[in-house]
Amino acid sequence: MPVTAIVLAAGEGTRMKSHHPKVMHKVLDRPLAWWVVNAARQAGIEHIVLVIGNGAQEVRSYFADEKDVEFVEQTRRLGTGHAVRVVRDALGSFDGPVVVLNGDLPLVRPETVRALVDRTRNNHDACTVLTMTPPDVTGYGRVLLDDSGQVQAIIEHKDCTPEQRATLLECNAGAYCFCGERLSANIDKLTNDNVQGEYYLTDMVGIYVGMGEPVTAVHCDDYRELLGVNDRVQLSQVTKIMQRRINEGLMRSGVSMLDPDQVWVGPEATIGMDTVLLPQTIVWGKTVVGEACTIGPNSRLVNATVGDNCTVDETVIVDSAIDDDVNCGPRAYLRGGAHFHKGAKAGTHVEIKGSEVGEGSKVPHLSYIGDARLGKGVNIGGGSITCNYDGKHKSHTEIGDHVFVGSDTMMVAPVTIGDNALVGASSCITKDVPAGALALERSKQTVIEGWADRYWDRLERED
């Protein structure tokens, strides 16, 4: 039978002190809830339900393109048990196993979720509880087991006796797998007879034990997988753990890092062998970096494609691509679908927007190229720009192969410069330049001998 994952993402998270829902705060470049959804997906779960409430529209918008994610809104937030009941009422009775995960468990691994499901299936459990033994058990609900390993109860920390606090070290992680059929039939037995007036999913354990239904536990050896996030301090702590997890995996696959604590790589980025990531490098989104590259220092790549043998020095690349043997920076900015072909160069203080730069072409320094196509072997002199925006419309600049553009040149789009043309420095090009032509546009220089000397003399006399 198919497995359903219910991700609880409706809470306010007041301790985050934020206008945004807690589950939308990010670990690296992805929200908390994304990590939980992705863990369920990687565990093979095809039906994922996000329970939303506080900040519902923000959560919906982020996951709108995720075809395997369904939303159920918990308009009245009356506890975790109530959230599961709302899902059952909205979608109908559950058939197969139902995994319930808090939306603030970003470190949980797919293997752990899969083990939870397998235990429920293999043992025919009514409920399987995921447990851990953290160094400090304060505040966690304690799991009481009998001699055969069956769960007898989950006792909240505040309800534990001094002896139980000292001896019960197995803690509830807030993640469960239920038999869907039995959960559908028994979820209505939950009551809200407590100080908070809420329906707690943990109470299902006591209900099942009282019915004689089997409840077992799966112990997670690495307690860090199950660390939750309630404030921004804890958010930074789990982010550091995830940073190290990803970086260690990359280094074991052949990527070098001068200082792994100063490199941040998102979960969907891929980086090839023999690439070096220098300090203060950020690699976000679905970035793909090839082999034998040097990225950084002080570089940021977002949804970028980088070929082999590239250097990306103090450079930002967003939604753009560079092919093999491309050199960028220091302090270059590629954005908006820019594409550099093999052997091209973007130099110091260069911005490239929505432009194609041909094989072996160079934009070495202090230039802006926007909405343009440069052919092969083009050289753009320093301080040159394409004037692509008139305040209302964007226009295109076409530059052919082996064109030389002198420094401080303005190319006012729409304009075309033909193959092998040469544009003199400090020109303002407003008309097309034929192939093989020289284009110059300069005002006449006027020199008045002795004028400056007379000017300074007059100022000194006036003083």
Q: Annotated binding residue at 311?
A: no
Active site residue 339: no
DSSP state of 445: P
Distant-in-sequence, close-in-space partners of 152: CB < 8 Å, separation ≥ 6: 144, 145, 146, 209
DSSP 318-376: ES-EE-TT-EE-SSEEEESS-EEPTT-EEEETEEEES-EE-TT-EEEES-EEESEEE-T
| Residue 379 is assigned to a ligand binding site | yes
CA 288, CA 320: separation in Å to the nearest integer?
Answer: 11
172 is in an annotated binding site: yes
Annotated catalytic residue within 25, 82, 339, 365: 365
156 known ligand binder? yes
Contact 341, 358 (CB under 8 A): yes
- Residue 335 labeled ligand binder: yes
Q: Do the annotations mark residue 10 as ligand-binding?
A: yes
Residue 292 is labelled as binding a ligand = no
Ligand-binding site membership of 85 (annotated)? no
> Cα(16)–Cα(104) distance, rounded to whole angstroms?
12
> How many of the other CB atoms lie within 10 Å of CB of 451?
9
Cβ atoms of 176 and 129 closer than 8 Å: yes
**Does 353 show up as a binding residue in the annotation?**
yes
Q: How far apart are CA 109 and CA 111, in angstroms?
A: 5
Is there a binding annotation on residue 15? Answer: no
The answer to the question of whether 354 is labelled as a binding residue is no
State yes or no: 394 annotated in a binding site: no
User: Do the annotations mark residue 74 as ligand-binding?
Assistant: yes
Cis before 297 (ω within 30)? yes
217 assigned to a ligand binding site? no
CA distance 444 to 310: 44
365 touches 380 (CB < 8 A): no
Residue 208 marked as a ligand binder: no
Binding residues for acetyl-CoA: 388-389, 407, 425, 442
Binding residues for UDP-N-acetyl-alpha-D-glucosamine: 8-11, 22, 74, 79-80, 141, 156, 172, 230, 335, 353, 368, 379
Annotated catalytic residues are 365
Binding residues: 8-11, 22, 74, 79-80, 104, 141, 156, 172, 230, 335, 353, 368, 379, 388-389, 407, 425, 442
Binding residues for Mg(2+): 104, 230
